Amino acid sequence: MSDLDQRPASNRRPLAQPLPRTWFLGTTEYRLYALREASALFLGIFVINVCWAVVALSRGLETWERWLAFQRHPAVVVFTVITLAMVLLQSVTWFQVSPKAIRVRLGERQLRASWIIAAQYAAAFVVLALLIWRARGGRS
Amino acid sequence: MSGCEGCNCGSRPDAAESRPLGTKRVTVFRYRPCSAVEQGSTEPRGGEPWYDAFEVPYDTGTSVADALGWIKDNRDATLAFRVSCRMGICGSCGLMVNGKPHLACETFLRDLPDEVTIAPLANLDVERDLIVDKEPFLAALTEVKPWLMSAANADGFDTALSENNRQTPAQMLDYQQFAQCINCLLCYAACPQVGFNRPFLGPAAITVAMRYSRDSRDHGTAQRLPALDAESGVWPCTFVGACSTVCPKGVDPAAAVQLAKLVAAKARATGLIKRKEKR
Ligand code: SF4
Ligand code: FES
């Protein structure tokens, strides 16, 4: 007896609707999401590059100079610019969505999302300012 | 033109009375579970889905639900679709209009382009024409135990404790938005993870779980955790955010899912700490 014979008598034959392979091109929202996910690839390669810089520096001046020269290669410059754009996209969209996970209730009202977003930008700028200050040797 | 007392909707040009505006070409997805031959029709169709196009007259007040009704009444009585309240509250009429999830009763032909394509909600199995199988969602809903659980009797609402069930408006605010869900499943059609991960609880079921777990009268979070903190629980969500964009009730299911992730992560962390303390 086949499986078919053992099924209860029913005319049901649900039709599956698999996602098309290009689903991520469907709407602007999906496209942005796909771009955000793709940014991880660029970031990963960038991090490897930075790790390589540290290794090159520890090996001495010659390897460090070679790493620096490599950074000036047009392909690497283009890659770095794309990575910067990707990081910005990642941060901006992240700041935009984070109020969904952070809910602040002030008495009988919910803190508006725009305030939470603004607070994140403020925090980011403070950190950036501190870093620049440190990089300039702690002098103002 | 009088209208009801205190209401000025009668003076709005579009609401005053319906004016015929012309016709639009409405293309509808069709599917029959068994071949038409089996059903005694001579038409050799069935098994494979197909599309039918209709010229549908519309006026200022014709919704997509009205258009489907007109087709069923005047052109093809075999067309199957769900509709009930016609006022955006029952959640029956979700479908894809030109590729995007909409409530048929709240989407108007006057606002759509001249070519309108109507299909069943994406990511869900089609039973017939525009009717999708809601059974998997109902199973997910049951899994998250969508009811208030009192501390004393964690499997049901304890009416004897009604004194303790008083709530301030501020406490209500913690879950009220999530309580607006009408189970229309537009968010499931918008969520690619629902398409990828068949057993995923999905945005609305998780939202309903949060609606109860964030309620000050509820003590059932521990009982909902096994469903939420599972491989097919909250974790398939990668925060695409489309669910909140399409939700017709402003429920913001994406927010509920992120909050549920926090609840699950916290429970895991405290579980780990407790296990260490025991050693
Ligand atoms: S969360 Fe919104 S889109 Fe999803 S089922 Fe509920 S009302 Fe519909
Ligand atoms: S018919 Fe009830 S929501 Fe559309």
Each residue's pLDDT tens digit, A80-125: 999 999 999 988 888 888 888 888 878 778 888 889 999 999 999 9
Say how many Å lie between the CA of residue B115 and the centre of ligand 2.
Answer: 23
Nearest CA in chain B to A14: B127
Q: What does the block give as tokens for B34?
A: 């068994």
First to last CA, chain B: 79
Within 8 A by CB and 6+ apart from B229, the residues are B235, B264, B267, B268
Q: What is the pLDDT of residue B44?
A: 44
Q: What is the pLDDT of residue B1?
A: 43
Q: Averaging pLDDT over each range in A4-18, A99-113, B31-45, B136-150, which range is the top one? A: B136-150
Q: What does the block give as tokens for A132?
A: 């620049």
The secondary element (H helix, E strand) that includes residue B102 is strand B100-103
The fraction of chain B above a pLDDT of 70, given in percent, is 84
- List of E strands, A1-140: 105-106, 109-110
* pLDDT band for position B274 (cuts 50, 70, 90): confident
Handedness of CA B239, B242, B243, B249 (dihedral sign): positive
- pTM for the model stands at 0.85
Q: Taking a C-beta distance cutoff of 8 angstroms, is the pair A29, B245 a contact?
A: yes
**CA–CA gap between residue B26 and residue B55 (Å, rounded):** 6
- B52 three-class SS: strand
Within 8 A by CB and 6+ apart from A39, the residues are A86, A87, A89, A90
CA-closest candidate to residue B38, choices A10, A43, A90, A38:
A10
Inter-chain CB proximity A17 and B254 less than 8 Å: no
**CA–CA gap between residue B94 and residue B113 (Å, rounded):** 19
Which residues of chain B have a CB within 8 Å of the CB of A24?
Answer: 192
Say how many Å lie between the CA of residue A10 and the centre of ligand 2.
Answer: 28
Q: Taking a C-beta distance cutoff of 8 angstroms, is the pair B47, B35 a contact?
A: yes
Q: Is residue A1 over pLDDT 50?
A: no
Within 8 A by CB and 6+ apart from B211, the residues are B146, B175, B178, B179, B181, B256
First to last CA, chain A: 86
Nearest CA to ligand 1 atom 1: B204
Q: Is residue B3 over pLDDT 70?
A: no
Chain A contact residues (CB < 8 Å to B): 11-19, 23-24, 26-27, 29-30, 33, 37, 97, 100-101, 103, 105, 107-110
Within 8 A by CB and 6+ apart from B60, the residues are B14, B18, B19, B21, B110
Q: What does the block give as tokens for B247?
A: 């939700």
HSE-CB for B156 with a 13 A CA cutoff: 3
Count of Cβ atoms closer than 10 Å to residue B235 Cβ: 19
Q: Is the CB of B88 under 6 A from ligand 2?
A: yes
Which residues of chain A have a CB within 8 Å of the CB of B122?
Answer: 17, 19
Give the position of tokens 């098994």.
B47
Average pLDDT over residues B212-220: 91
Angle at CA B178, nearest 5°, toward B104 and B182? 25
What's the mean pLDDT when you consider all of chain A? 87
CA-closest candidate to residue B47, choices A18, A15, A4:
A15
To the nearest whole Å, the CA of A28 is away from the closest chain B CA by: 10
Count of Cβ atoms closer than 10 Å to residue B98 Cβ: 14
Q: What does the block give as tokens for B94?
A: 């979700």
B221 vs A3, higher pLDDT: B221
The secondary element (H helix, E strand) that includes residue B103 is strand B100-103
Model pLDDT for residues B230-246, shown as the tens digit of each residue? 999 999 999 999 999 99
